[in-house]
Structure 1
Amino acid sequence: MAGSPVQVTGTVLTTRRVDAYHALTVVAPGIADRFRPGHFVTVAVGGRDSSLLTRRAFTIHDVKPDYGGTVELVFGVRGPGTAWLADLRARDTLDLVGPLGRPFPLPRDPCTCVLVGDEHGAAPMFALADALQQRGCRIDFVLGAPSADRVFGALRARRMGETTTLTTEDGSLGMRGKVTDVLPGVIADARADALYACGPMETLRGVTAIAVELGVPVQVAVEESMACGIGVCMTCVVPVIGDDGVTRMVRACTEGPVFRGERVRFDDVGTIPFDALGAPGGRHV
């Protein structure tokens, strides 16, 4: 059942450590029903009396039909909000809103897809792989991180993928280097028809450059800081080129987080390009 996002008070079903990351499974039927790969949720953190006012955004790793519908979130501890989440235990409650954002578009016909996940950016790639395989697509994974404990989902990728290539910057798992170092070879060997990627902006920039050079369509799920997740606060804007060739500052939480890679002006992320529509001294309606 697709439709508008819902706000749910979910009960934590399980918590677990996955190397450097934490995984929370939450009973959230309304969200699970509406989920598509690439969707995210926002979560209230800190408890009812907390001074942590803004929600935290997390892509959904997995959904299951158990208990009417569960969602699993994967995250690393980066500050007080994620530290609070990491301390939750089974039967605690969590306030979630979702599913939010634009999910990954799926090909109409069976094709060969390379899925690139850097660090816990790999988390949404497995639900995507399921959806692609249901359409008869071949899946090849490229997963990477600075170190072995931050590579997410290697075993599951090996089970699901035709091939799985792992990279770490310190050489502790797989090939030494970054996902972008091995990606051209994987694309060539698989004869890839499409690329999907999620991870830090610098990784997505490199993946997109490779895809453009090799003429392979690429969909990227950007990782931008989001305070509201519903398009109000404008903290997550990125410069994106529209169908008409005009650059606009668009909200990753509503128009994204998934974009065609070549449309995102990665070199200008964090700025308002002078030629963007409405920019000071730039284009105006």
Structure 2
Amino acid sequence: MSDFRPVQMRSPVLTVRRVDAYHAITVVAPGIAERFRSGQFVAVAVGGEQSSMLLRRAFAIHEVKPDYGGTVEFLFAVRGRGTAWLAERRSRDLLDIVGPLGRPFPLPRDPVNCVLVGGGAGAAPLFPLAHTLRRRGCRVDFVLGAADAERVFGAITARRVAETATFTTDDGSFGLRGQVTEVLPQVVEDARSDVIYACGPMPMLREVTALAARYDIPVQVSVEETMACGTGVCMTCVIPVIGDDGITRMTRSCVDGPVFRGERVRFDDVGTIPFDALGAPGWKTHGDDAVQTREAG
């Protein structure tokens, strides 16, 4: 049986390339490559050994290849000092990386019609998923959107891999003007989609999940939540998720996610601790049982 436990590696940089509004870094990391499953991510140390930036940065894995002993590529946009430092790396620099981390996308047992929905850089983890689904005989349709043309990631690859690829931009500079949720219903109907996979901003995931409910099809979402450690220790990436028992828990995106069943995520309560969440004020525990003692309202 394969070992899926994450590993920490000092990985040499193979390439750093600019992809429109994003940067993509490919590192030689055979230990991570051989364990990777679609939807998992890496946590990268930034700033160098003497840096005051102690927290790692989490990035979805976009591509894994056996070349050069096993390479891993991740995508990011420059948003602060840490990602600016990463963008300045060059070939043969070493990066301290932990991975693969997180819960991967669950895969269908039988060939089904799958629509993959990505917003901005959220499209990155959908590409290894698309290849895996195609190998299983599934139909794949892409719906990708972003604010503008420069932020739509992977359009050429999406056209090559998928049965159909639909693109949207807020400003109309590429594809259709609007958002992915506006065109998704037509794609679902035309492709007779059986399942939706989505990754992107929380508002997009909320709308995609609501749309899946209207069509009564399952949806798997990969949440974009800020992570400080990526290993479940710091509790900064918790979101309210409904468990199999119907009880809401503040769930760690990094180890229990980043992939969740969309209908289980309480998107309207993200950023808060709902009053009815286990452990919130109003709950008492008796042994292994939890009892809510405060009434709603």
TM-score after normalising by structure 2: 0.95
Counterparts of 1:141-180 in structure 2, within 5 Å, are 141-180=142-181
Instruction: Report deviation, 1:2.
Output: 3.4
CA contact (8 A) 2:139 2:163 kept: yes
For 2:19 and 2:229, how far apart are their aligned partners in 1? 27
Query: For residue 49 of structure 1, what is the amino acid of its counterpart?
Result: Q
Map of 1:104 onto structure 2: 105
CA contact (8 A) 1:115 1:195 kept: yes
Query: For residue 258 of structure 2, what is the amino acid of its counterpart?
Result: P
CA contact (8 A) 1:276 1:283 kept: no
Map of 1:9 onto structure 2: 10
Instruction: Report deviation, 1:107.
Output: 0.1
Matched residue count: 285
Q: Which runs of 4+ in 1 moved over 4 A?
A: none
Map of 1:28 onto structure 2: 29
For 2:47 and 2:205, how far apart are their aligned partners in 1? 31
Counterparts of 1:1-285 in structure 2, within 5 Å, are 1-282=2-283, 284=285, 285=290
For 1:196 and 1:19, how far apart are their aligned partners in 2? 24
Query: For residue 177 of structure 1, what is the amino acid of its counterpart?
Result: G
CA contact (8 A) 1:275 1:283 kept: no
Q: Give the percent of matched residue pairs that are identical in Structure 1 and Structure 2.
A: 71
TM-score after normalising by structure 1: 0.99
Instruction: Report deviation, 1:139.
Output: 0.2
Query: For residue 228 of structure 1, what is the amino acid of its counterpart?
Result: C
Query: For residue 107 of structure 2, what is the amino acid of its counterpart?
Result: L
What do residues 248-270 of structure 1 show as CA deviations (whole Å, max 9, x unaligned)?
Answer: 11100000000000000000000
CA contact (8 A) 1:10 1:94 kept: yes
Instruction: Report deviation, 1:281.
Output: 2.1
**Which has more radius of gyration?**
2
SS at match of 1:34: coil
Instruction: Report deviation, 1:17.
Output: 0.5
SS at match of 2:134: helix
For 2:3 and 2:64, how far apart are their aligned partners in 1? 14
